[in-house]
Structure 1
């Protein structure tokens, strides 16, 4: 029977026979005897290593694809959630009798123009004053705006930094802004605070969207409404308007 020999380092393969030893340099401890039926395990091992490396590469690639897919889904859900925040943000109205605290004279706005409902315009401005975050804090701030009576406040509604709406003239009486030429067709909403160089909070913008939805639901505002910004003559480029430009119905500045 013929036998072969191979180096344990697999660097040299030689045939071996009882009659002739082709390799004279290998010691007995370096020789492994093989015959014709012995598997070429070194070749299989090489293939096994390549197969193992291929599996690892596919696993790494699959992991990267999963991570990229998860990141894409996360970004998409974040965008969708932001849109849902605007659409489903709960409208939080603090009615006049809840924050004013004193007896409300039913004739307080009797000299004001009544709104012609449903109105077609929503006009947004800011108070250019202090900011507030709680009902107690905001109630005190609004009361400080009153000099003689509630008619001193020209807004229909005020929205705080925390996203609460405070009823002033409500859906009944027109605003007291001279710049609003079609008073009986417009509701004026004021953001409490100074937004000359500062953007409105996300809560304020979401509450404005919720207020618009609620006004439409109550049939106080038409569905194809127009949204405007308003500014005084001494105001130039308000950051307030940057927050309104992407809202539905935006038409520009009066």
Structure 2
């Protein structure tokens, strides 16, 4: 990582009050679970890295556009997944906030519960916090997601020729919402 890149990332971390972050290869800020107060994960099944697929979804709930609101929303999603659905942790590998930050769910190495039995063991699940049936996420959220995917390739978690799929491409659902689905279909890595 270049010195300039490292200084820029750490300046942002200091501004946002993030004590620790996964900033290998200058991927941009990733808010660790303990920073948004996720409870200790009980998940044990690891992914065989690198994976070929990324499944993009939306939470279909409230959006968030500040770090404080996004931390709360990540906690809400985590609570719903762990308490109501009985998951061992939040179901996604990463959550994207409208504040332009990435919130770590299960991370790169742990199998998620985001796209069904066939897809969970072979994909990374990223979700945009909000409902994107009628609107798209703001540009900073899209940039955060694309930076995260480049980071995954740089770290060896994603194959260089990875494929992006919408949640509705792998399960019967309206996720990731009509507008976000239209947008990801324009990404060069999209394969429906």
Indicate how the Cα distance of structure 1 residues 234 and 190 shifts in structure 2: closer, same or farther if over 3 A, else same: closer
Provide the rounded CA distance (Å) in 2 between the counterparts of 1:208 and 1:177: 16
Q: In the TM superposition, what whole-angstrom CA distance separates every residue of 1:199-227 from its partner, at most 9, and x where no partner exists? A: 12111211111001111111111101101
Provide the rounded CA distance (Å) in 2 between the counterparts of 1:101 and 1:205: 24
Aligned-residue offset at 1:100: 1.3
TM-score (norm: length of structure 2): 0.74
Q: How does 1:52-131 map to 2 (within 5 A)?
A: 91-100=28-37, 104=40, 108-110=42-44, 113-131=45-63
Provide the rounded CA distance (Å) in 1 between the counterparts of 2:27 and 2:155: 15
1:176 aligned onto 2:113: yes
Indicate how the Cα distance of structure 1 residues 123 and 101 shifts in structure 2: closer, same or farther if over 3 A, else same: closer
Q: 2:172 aligns to what?
A: 233
Q: 1:251 aligns to what?
A: 191
Provide the rounded CA distance (Å) in 2 between the counterparts of 1:100 and 1:225: 31
Equivalent pair of 1:99/1:135 in contact (CA under 8 Å): no
Aligned-residue offset at 1:156: 0.6
Provide the rounded CA distance (Å) in 2 between the counterparts of 1:90 and 1:234: 30
Q: How does 1:112-151 map to 2 (within 5 A)?
A: 113-145=45-77, 146-147=79-80, 148=82, 151=88
Q: In the TM superposition, what whole-angstrom CA distance separates every residue of 1:119-147 from its partner, at most 9, and x where no partner exists? A: 11111000000011122211112212214
Equivalent pair of 1:199/1:242 in contact (CA under 8 Å): no
Aligned-residue offset at 1:172: 1.6
1:187 aligned onto 2:127: no
Does 1 or 2 have the higher relative contact order (CA < 8 Å, sep 6+)? 2
1:203 aligned onto 2:140: yes
TM-score (norm: length of structure 1): 0.57
Q: In the TM superposition, what whole-angstrom CA distance separates every residue of 1:172-205 from its partner, at most 9, and x where no partner exists? A: 2112135361322200000000001111211121
Aligned-residue offset at 1:250: 0.6
Equivalent pair of 1:92/1:163 in contact (CA under 8 Å): no
Indicate how the Cα distance of structure 1 residues 173 and 193 shifts in structure 2: closer, same or farther if over 3 A, else same: same
CA RMSD between the two structures: 2.3
Q: Give the counterpart of 2:90 among 145, 148, 153.
A: 153
Equivalent pair of 1:90/1:207 in contact (CA under 8 Å): no
Equivalent pair of 2:61/2:129 in contact (CA under 8 Å): yes
Q: In the TM superposition, what whole-angstrom CA distance separates every residue of 1:155-177 from its partner, at most 9, and x where no partner exists? A: 11000012100001101211213
- Runs of 4+ residues deviating >6 angstroms: none
Q: Rg: which structure is higher? A: 1
Equivalent pair of 1:157/1:188 in contact (CA under 8 Å): yes
Aligned residues: 159
